[in-house]
Amino acid sequence: MALEIERKFLVDTSKLPPLPTPYTIKQGYIAARNATVRVRIRNKEAFLTLKGRTSGVTRSEFEYPVPLSDAEAMLTQLCERPYIDKKRYLLPYAGHTWELDIFEGENEGLIVAEIELSSEEEVFEKPEWVTVEVSDDPRYRNAYLVKHPFRTWH
């Protein structure tokens, strides 16, 4: 079984280094009871991902490439609105690659950084631009942001 072990943090944008070219990501979620079902288009590639319930910062994850036209149809016909639109920047730091997500659309203003680890106990160094950890806060999960966009937070 594939596992995703991920920690998520807020970002101090004033301390960010120059950013490389981003991926453009559009993703939507299909209603499911015991899993998160995500359809993602990253640039011109498409994926269907199933994620299990989170325990700590770990959950099962299964991801499969799908034809772009199928993903576009799934987004239009099956996914809840609004979609998640964001730019993703890959930033290497101290032996890890951080994923910096700058959200657009209904979640504009939200910026988070994620790091994937090989175990929950793995030690890693945080860049100076990483601030508060939000791994345990469900509001920062993309599936939550579809139903409660960042722009509506008070």
Catalytic-labelled residue, pool 29, 83, 89, 140: 29
Backbone dihedral region for residue 149 (phi beyond 0: left; psi -120 to 50: alpha; all else: beta): beta
* Identity of residue 69: S
Token reading at 66: 């799908």
Active site (annotated) includes residue 29 = yes
User: Can you tell me the distance from the alpha carbon of 141 to that of 139, in angstroms, rounded to the nearest whole number?
Assistant: 6
**For residues 115 and 135, is the Cβ–Cβ distance under 8 A?**
no
The catalytic residues are 29
